[in-house]
Amino acid sequence: MIAWRIYYDDGGTFSSEEGAPADAPSLGVILIWQAVLNDSHHPAEKHMGLDWYWWRPDLEMWMSGEIHGFLDQAMNLGACHPKFGRVVPGMKYQEILKTANHDLDFWYDPV
């Protein structure tokens, strides 16, 4: 089972099946999908539109925010493996977002 997948500005991806959070490229993140265990209503969540993404080993999940949020969590909670978001032209962003939104590993029917 894929726990998470990162989408990059060049159209590429990196998932938990390919390596650990530390192995994922750090630059050009557009969004991160991740599975959410024990939540049948929202079994996946998407982090997008921010400058910083980081791994929380204590929660085994990705978080996102601005530099102050990352620094707070890095100093106090052990956040690590920062990844950096990138702004891309609108058409390219929409193309990557469309691909991510059709990712069957994270699709669910929010009935």
Torsion of CA 38, 56, 90, 97, to 10 degrees: -30
User: Which strand (E) or helix (H) includes residue 33?
Assistant: strand 27-35
CA 68 to CA 86: how far, in whole Å? 18
Place of tokens 């060049």: 10
66: its two tokens: 């601005």
Q: How many CA atoms lie within 13 A of 96 on its CB side?
A: 25
Place of tokens 């994922």: 24
| Nearest CA among 82, 72, 104, 94 for reference residue 11 | 94
pTM higher than the cut 0.85: yes
Task: Note down pLDDT in tens along the chain; length 111 residues.
Answer: 789 999 999 999 999 999 999 999 999 999 999 988 766 666 788 999 999 999 999 889 999 999 998 999 888 888 789 999 999 999 999 999 999 999 988 875 554
